[in-house]
Structure 1
Amino acid sequence: MSLVKLVEPVAAEELGRVHFIGIGGAGMSGIARILLKRGVPVSGSDARTSEMVTALRELGATVHIGHAASHVKNVDTVVVSTAIRDSNPELGEALRQGLRVIPRAAALASVMAGRRAVAVAGTHGKTTTTSMLTVALQKCGADPSYCVGGQLVTTGLGADEGSGGVFVAEADESDGSFLMLAPDIAVVTNVEPDHLDNYGDPRAVYDSFARFVERVGETLVVCADDPGSAALVPIARARGLEVVTYGEAEDADLRVGDIVPDGMGVSFRVHGHGEVRLAVPGRHNALNATAVIAVAAALGVPFDAIRDGLAAFGGAKRRFEAKGEAGGVAVFDSYAHHPTELAADLRAARDVVNSFSGSGRVIAVFQPHLYSRTRFFADGFGAALGLADEAVVLDVYGAREDPEPGVSGALVADKVPLPPGRVAYAPRREDVPALVAGRARPGDVVLTMGAGDVTELGPRIVAELAAR
């Protein structure tokens, strides 16, 4: 949405009466919720009603269904998301009136101002790490405010106002707007090329994270195992920041070892501290949890307390979320939409299978997200899906993009290095539940993956399995 440029945020109390265009979105509704709890007048509009819209109305927001210029009457600040087009009548009216128009990230920065701010960034793992940190701090009694790009299983919310002095936020790099945040403490889980439709080339992605580091006030926590995030260390030290590295690397400040799958969870040791047990699976989650431990130390929370808090973390919506079980087959759902994320979740699925039956298989159901991302990463998606025993590939979920000639789910399916008969291209989404149920057998794990509407298939697959 080109009419709104990156701007420096103002304090929340200076926003006045705030109107959100697209208030029902996960990120927008969370900020609106926090402002309402602080007594700020909030209005908004959305294309359709939803549970989030209903919840905001119950908190006192005025929410219109549909968009019209009249909705921005008696408004001081208008917040927009990247999904809002330049032709939106409310945006046009706000600009005509000369109102303050800011992107979602600037509104997030405004509500973070005045708190001890922690921002979690990275190409992968930021939602889970932000959620882990939030839940762990809640269990420690810190009661932070938070704004996460997903919903916590424990609260059912993606954002809320806490009574403590800490604000934990996910820093989204997709459109570069995370450069509006100025956290005291920041985590960078990893840096890899993604969102190339926005950045253009990998170098620009790395440069944006370097600029993000320049906005950190005190402490930077980075994964020593990832070359992209490790490259930020000298930049941070040159600025005089405290730097804490974590990972399996020998020179990591918080070194992780003895990572062992444990049922639906994982256990590991942080050298010099002790053992940690998580209720969510995967090596990547052991690393995410160690980042949380590093942040907790910077906030003055002892290791034993944060370890107990981490044990209480039950996951986030759409992050290896259990959808049900039928016929001895367990079905999970994941937001994974980048090759690295697919690979991490499929390895975690393998750990789960091995912990329980040892003889089951992993069946991947993947819906590519965005035509541009599919074109950029088709080879990587195919290689990652090769970690499964069987793969079903849906057609591309275009989201904000128009179709591209020659770019479809078949492009990915053709790249999967599995034997004939173990890879299926399913362009009709309604065919998938029966297709998967026909392939699955007791002891298997089915994992639906993607950032689109593939998430709706998990319960349908469970129902189809139960009917057989």
Structure 2
Amino acid sequence: MKNNQQERIHFLGMAGVGVSAVARIMQAQGRTISGTDAKDLPVMSEFAARGAVTYIGYRAENLDDLDAKGLLPNVIVASSIAQDGNPEYEAARRRGLRLLHRSQALAEAMSGHRVIAVAGTHGKTTTSSMTATALRAAELDPTFAIGANLVDLGVNAHVGSTDLFVAEADESDGSLLNYTPTIVVLTNVEPDHLDHYGTPEAVYQVFKDFTAKIVPDGTLIYCTDDPGASSTAAWAREHRSDLNVIGYGFDAAADIRLSDAKAVNTGQEFTLTTGETSHQVRLQMPGQHNALNAAAALAVLSVLDANLEAGSQGLAGFGGAARRFQFHGEVQGIRVFDDYAHHPTEVRAVLQAARSIAGAAAVRVLFQPHLFSRTQEFAAEFAAALELADEAIILPIYPAREDPIPGVTAELIAHKIGSGAPVLTAEAAVAQLAQQAQPGDVLLTVGAGDVTYCADHLVTALEDHHSHGDGR
């Protein structure tokens, strides 16, 4: 790209969590930005308040309007769902404007930084959020672009004062290969996004290809407890002898080892050992997967010779990332959480975390499958994970970008759950959970679709139910 002050960048899908992160960073770096989204979400007003021209609804005429204002962009940055066929994108193509995918724009924003890229099938958002939080606590203020708002900061992107840049590296469409990282954190590797890759082998290969992109003398930090990540690390040791390869995990052979993990209230604590030094780490978030995510973040600090004790203290106050076991409310001792989990491994981890804080009370889950293809591929695995709950209710499939597949419905999962599970509308599911929940229960809304809105509806339904129960 050109000098920042000369650049005019127009974002399509501007309100989306991925695109908005890039837009925030580029605006803070001094570029003139504008953007369009189909929905009038609050983030659009935030950009407008900082001087950006924004539009609601995609139209070729939006570019004409920018041209009339003397703001015709040099570059168009588009999300995956705002490209071919989008009228504004096609108008930009006809004008010969430079077209970039969100990940390509993010790669350009990374220029001049030491990039810490968090990759893996699961845990990228929480791990990158924890990494940014721990670095800030250790006074190594990084730039970051994350796939959800940090609850403590209320933003998904920030321009820091150091040359460090923390970012998620998304494998869903192979766009992680646009980055050239200094440090890669690899949380886990297993088959997903088979609608894009076709075979599990292709999924494993993209992570090897990404490891090959690490700069000379860079570092791969991987989870020793995960077979897929360990396999990628073995490949790296064979093919990239210039890399520093560091393992973290509960495995006794890990370079950075977790031990003595135990639940504390609604969170947990564990011991982290690096070499001859041990640190006590306390988290507000439950679940072994979150302990591993925290260890990965602190492993980054170890590689950078940063203050691990300060980083650990930062994580003790970490409030989480939006939609990652996010607390929504408590009514009569019934707690409601929402989580983005949309793969069987993620659903299992979330339910295990819920069980760790529920004690003798029940864990009840409202689950929305995401994508017809993923439901078809993993129906049995989803059912097995959901059997960890005392009660499961399934919503119809959230299609996102996909057309229906004949015969693939939410019933594929529901019918495989041994204790049985109804498939209900969101309204009926919320009503049923609110009626059946007892004090002490943990209620979860789980999935990558609009099930997230059910969490607040569930809190309201619980309040109404118990108010009426008190005779009001």
TM-score range, shorter chain: over 0.9
Q: What is the SS of the residue equivalent to 2:345?
A: helix
Contact 1:21 1:45 in 2 (8 A): yes
CA distance in 2, matches of 1:25, 1:431: 29
Please show how residues 256-271 of structure 1 align to structure 2 within 5 Å.
256-271=258-273
Gaps of 5+ in 2: 466-472
- Which stretch of the first structure deviates more once superposed, 130-139 or 372-381? 130-139
Question: 1:273 maps to which residue?
Answer: 278
Given the alignment, which residue of 91, 94, 99 partners 2:92?
A: 94
One-letter amino acid matched to 1:434: A
Please show how residues 278-357 of structure 1 align to structure 2 within 5 Å.
278-354=283-359
One-letter amino acid matched to 1:266: Q
Question: 2:21 maps to which residue?
Answer: 30
Question: 1:389 maps to which residue?
Answer: 390
Q: What is the SS of the residue equivalent to 2:392?
A: strand
Q: What is the SS of the residue equivalent to 1:424?
A: coil
Q: What is the SS of the residue equivalent to 1:446?
A: strand
Contact 2:146 2:167 in 1 (8 A): yes
CA distance in 1, matches of 2:270, 2:3: 41
Computed over aligned residues only, the root mean square deviation of the Cα atoms, in angstroms, reads 1.4
Given the alignment, which residue of 138, 156, 159 partners 2:157?
A: 159
User: How far has the Cα of 1:49 moved from its partner?
Assistant: 1.4
Q: What is the SS of the residue equivalent to 2:150?
A: coil
CA distance in 2, matches of 1:62, 1:360: 51
Question: 1:57 maps to which residue?
Answer: 48
One-letter amino acid matched to 2:228: G
Q: What is the SS of the residue equivalent to 2:260?
A: strand
Q: What is the SS of the residue equivalent to 1:164?
A: coil
Is it true that 1:413 corresponds to 2:404 in the alignment? no
User: How far has the Cα of 1:30 moved from its partner?
Assistant: 1.2
Question: 2:245 maps to which residue?
Answer: 243
One-letter amino acid matched to 2:351: L
CA distance in 2, matches of 1:23, 1:465: 35
Is it true that 1:221 corresponds to 2:221 in the alignment? yes
Contact 1:260 1:266 in 2 (8 A): yes
User: How far has the Cα of 1:308 moved from its partner?
Assistant: 1.2
Q: Aligned residues: percent identity?
A: 46
CA distance in 1, matches of 2:2, 2:115: 14
Pair 12,321 (structure 1): closer, same or farther in 2 beyond 3 Å: farther
- How many residues end up aligned between the 2 structures? 451
CA distance in 2, matches of 1:152, 1:43: 24
User: How far has the Cα of 1:133 moved from its partner?
Assistant: 0.9
Q: What is the SS of the residue equivalent to 1:163?
A: coil
One-letter amino acid matched to 1:385: L
User: How far has the Cα of 1:187 moved from its partner?
Assistant: 0.4
Pair 11,136 (structure 1): closer, same or farther in 2 beyond 3 Å: farther
One-letter amino acid matched to 2:243: L
Question: 1:3 maps to which residue?
Answer: none
CA distance in 1, matches of 2:3, 2:191: 33
CA distance in 2, matches of 1:461, 1:263: 23
Contact 1:371 1:396 in 2 (8 A): yes
Contact 2:4 2:30 in 1 (8 A): no
Question: 1:377 maps to which residue?
Answer: 378
Pair 92,395 (structure 1): closer, same or farther in 2 beyond 3 Å: same
Pair 115,264 (structure 1): closer, same or farther in 2 beyond 3 Å: same
CA distances 1:437-462 after superposition (whole Å, capped 9, x unpaired): 12211111001100000000111111
One-letter amino acid matched to 1:229: A
CA distance in 2, matches of 1:149, 1:66: 23
- Which stretch of the first structure deviates more once superposed, 407-416 or 232-241? 232-241
Question: 1:140 maps to which residue?
Answer: 138
Question: 1:42 maps to which residue?
Answer: 33
- Which stretch of the first structure deviates more once superposed, 429-438 or 177-186? 429-438
Q: What is the SS of the residue equivalent to 2:453?
A: helix
CA distance in 1, matches of 2:345, 2:427: 27
CA distance in 1, matches of 2:403, 2:230: 36
CA distances 1:253-276 after superposition (whole Å, capped 9, x unpaired): 111111111111111112342221
Output the TM-score relative to the length of structure 2. Answer: 0.93
Output the TM-score relative to the length of structure 1. Answer: 0.94
Q: What is the SS of the residue equivalent to 1:313?
A: coil
CA distances 1:390-428 after superposition (whole Å, capped 9, x unpaired): 10111100011111221111111111132x5xx2221x2
Contact 1:135 1:312 in 2 (8 A): no
Gaps of 5+ in 1: 1-9
One-letter amino acid matched to 1:243: V
Question: 1:4 maps to which residue?
Answer: none
Is it true that 1:79 corresponds to 2:77 in the alignment? yes
Contact 2:325 2:350 in 1 (8 A): yes
User: How far has the Cα of 1:305 moved from its partner?
Assistant: 1.8
Question: 2:462 maps to which residue?
Answer: 465
CA distance in 2, matches of 1:263, 1:200: 43
Contact 2:5 2:30 in 1 (8 A): no
Q: What is the SS of the residue equivalent to 2:402?
A: coil
User: How far has the Cα of 1:11 moved from its partner?
Assistant: 7.5
Given the alignment, which residue of 403, 411, 428 partners 1:431?
A: 428
User: How far has the Cα of 1:71 moved from its partner?
Assistant: 2.7
CA distance in 2, matches of 1:14, 1:103: 21
